[in-house]
Structure 1
Amino acid sequence: MIEALSFGCPVILLGGGDCDLSLLRRMTAQGWPLVAADGGANRLLDTEINPAAIIGDLDSLQQRSRWESVCPVIQIEEQNTTDFEKCLYQCKAPLFVALGFTGKRFDHTLAALHVLHRYVDSRIVALVSDTDVVVVIRGALYLELPKGIRLSVYPMERVEFSGSTGLLYPLDNLVMQQGQSIGCSNSTNDNAVSIVPLDRGTYSVIVPVAEFNSMTRALIQRGQSG
């Protein structure tokens, strides 16, 4: 058993999919360590960014010997999980910000959402694309957003909501389930937004990537209070 890496601050996870390098640089400028999922490290070859670790089955990693002189390179050969999931179970942190796990192939995006659902009770993860930030959670979510911001609520399973505040279309007494009712393209009409389920159903919340800071603040506060 390989000992898990433990971090006291948010961690950036980098995959091999689409990734806005300017956003990545803004994140690393905050001092957050970066863990690359296998070939995600290849995106760093022509940059000044060095990972804190590289984790995966390493079937896509280029210039392995170079990276081994820079950081721990952890090979996990089991094929029952994706490299994204390997990073999550091999690391502990108060928040994970995952880039490069969407975009290139839709099945990879679905696999990333599957992992977020699977780890909903043990890891706090924000999945970031070039356009959106997605979180998968169980329980209530409270966040501060400007008015008029697109916010979607998508059920990962059956979930019943007791209420909401700050949304143009309230979620009061609404039951969501894939194939029946979803909550895409809602909008904020107040700065204080709350989403409160009645049960322990799991759901995703999607906001524009411009609201990344607002979402991560809410997730960090949620983790501290939980």
Structure 2
Amino acid sequence: MTDKIVESEAPLTLVGGGWADRALLADLRRHAPGIVAADGGAGLVLASGEMPLAVIGDMDSLDDAARARIDPARLHRIAEQESTDFDKALRSVAAPLILGAGFMGARRDHELANFNALVRHPHRRCVLVGMDELVTLAPPDLTIDLHPGTRVSLFPMRALHGWSEGLHWPIDGLDFAPDARVGTSNVATGPVRLRFAAPGMLLILPRDALDPLVRTLLATPGAWPAP
């Protein structure tokens, strides 16, 4: 028996209650047509003219008007308060790739907790998409075609090390940690290859790198094991 609320062979769009708009949802759904809401994110999904496959969360942000429009069978309440609605939704869906909107750009504490969830569920490939940036947990080995001059930032959520090709400042031999060296504001010199010995490195790219990042993640074999 599966413990997943939604399972899809195609990428999924996951919508939260933070910053997002209809244009962003339309952009994500080019890659991930199925749509799931995390709690109050259902309001934006409904406002865009869509019905979410499921609404997942503690339901403290879902207003009565939105709730009344959704079949109760699509509402999945997870009452515990030890995790965010993003964490609840991320662990409750299965897809080759998840594109998240509404999880960055609003409350900073929620945003940081959402980055934490990416690291806590390393086996789930997920890209959080904000107004200007993309954030994803780097897989074990990734090669992405980026234009020279593209900003490539790396932020470690644990102590680790890695290797690179195609970065202006190579990372080989460097020890990264959240309270020590970080790798923000690096620059691509062309296609970039990144390899890491353990999960925990956040890859931050400009928003206009969404298409190559999606193509790369879907085509890249190998994933971090489930914790």
> 1:7 aligned to 2:8?
yes
Partner of 2:179: 179
Partner of 2:141: 140
Contact 1:145 1:188 survives alignment (8 Å): yes
Q: Kindly report which structure 2 residues correspond to 1:157-168, keeping only aligned pairs within 5 A, or say none.
A: 157-161=158-162, 163-168=163-168
Contact 2:153 2:205 survives alignment (8 Å): yes
Please, which runs of 5 or more residues in structure 2 have no aligned partner? none
Partner Cα distance (1:20, 1:165) in 2: 36
Q: Kindly report which structure 2 residues correspond to 1:181-196, keeping only aligned pairs within 5 A, or say none.
A: 181-190=181-190, 192-196=191-195
> 1:66 aligned to 2:69?
yes
Contact 1:35 1:54 survives alignment (8 Å): yes
Describe the SS at the equivalent of 2:47.
Answer: coil
Q: CA deviation at 1:21?
A: 2.3
Partner of 2:103: 101
Partner of 1:48: 49
**1:28 is aligned with what amino acid?**
R
Partner Cα distance (1:92, 1:173) in 2: 35
Partner Cα distance (1:179, 1:3) in 2: 36
**1:149 is aligned with what amino acid?**
T
Q: CA deviation at 1:105?
A: 0.8
Q: How many residues are aligned here? A: 220
Contact 1:133 1:212 survives alignment (8 Å): yes
**1:96 is aligned with what amino acid?**
I
Contact 2:15 2:101 survives alignment (8 Å): yes
* Structure 1 residue ranges (4+ consecutive) displaced by more than 3 angstroms after TM superposition: none
Contact 1:158 1:201 survives alignment (8 Å): no
> 1:35 aligned to 2:33?
no
Describe the SS at the equivalent of 2:170.
Answer: coil
Partner Cα distance (1:2, 1:55) in 2: 16
Q: Kindly report which structure 2 residues correspond to 1:212-223, keeping only aligned pairs within 5 A, or say none.
A: 212-222=210-220
Question: Relative to structure 1, is the Cα distance of residues 86 and 159 closer, same or farther in structure 2, using a 3 angstrom cutoff?
Answer: same
Partner of 2:157: 156
With the length of structure 2 as denominator, give the TM-score of the two structures. 0.90
Q: CA deviation at 1:138?
A: 4.8
Contact 1:36 1:54 survives alignment (8 Å): yes
With the length of structure 1 as denominator, give the TM-score of the two structures. 0.90
Q: CA deviation at 1:225?
A: 4.4
**1:65 is aligned with what amino acid?**
A
Partner Cα distance (2:141, 2:2) in 1: 34
Q: CA deviation at 1:108?
A: 0.5
Contact 2:28 2:99 survives alignment (8 Å): no
What CA deviation, in whole Å up to 9, does each residue of 1:19-58 have, x standing for no partner?
A: 1421211222456211000100112333222211111111
RMSD across aligned positions (CA): 1.9
**2:11 is aligned with what amino acid?**
P
What CA deviation, in whole Å up to 9, does each residue of 1:109-161 have, x standing for no partner?
A: 100001001001x2111111111101113522211111110110111111112
Question: Relative to structure 1, is the Cα distance of residues 78 and 47 closer, same or farther in structure 2, using a 3 angstrom cutoff?
Answer: same
Describe the SS at the equivalent of 2:91.
Answer: helix
> 1:21 aligned to 2:22?
yes
